[in-house]
Amino acid sequence: MPTFTREEIEHLGDLARIALTDEETARLQGELNVIAESINKVQEVAGDDVPPTANPVPLEAYLRPDEAVTPLPQEEALAGAPRSEAGMFVAPRILGEE
């Protein structure tokens, strides 16, 4: 059962460029040891017959077929626009002048 030592926690803080107080080091040591123990428990249960997975519920990406279609004509695309000019949508300026 791996346990994180105080020196390892301080080293991790140095690597992350985080100044840790003695209280923070002690708290993180306890929290990381609880996480390590939890991981060990899961590894004990997971045998060779259990496939590794990122999610216990199987997920599938439902994608539509990629079929070429004729694009919307420009006039039809601009038909519902409140304002258009030179074949483009006109929108209010949201950034300052450049």
Upper half-sphere CA count for residue 61 (Cβ side, 13 Å): 3
Tokens of 31: 């929290």
Tens digits of residue pLDDT in 73-84: 999 999 999 999
**Is residue 85 very low, low, confident or very high in pLDDT (cuts 50, 70, 90)?**
very high
Dist CA 33 CA 3 (whole Å): 6
Q: Where are the domains of the chain?
A: 6-44
The pLDDT value recorded for residue 53 is: 77
Tokens of 32: 């990381």
Dist CA 35 CA 5 (whole Å): 14
Mean per-residue pLDDT for 13-25?
A: 95
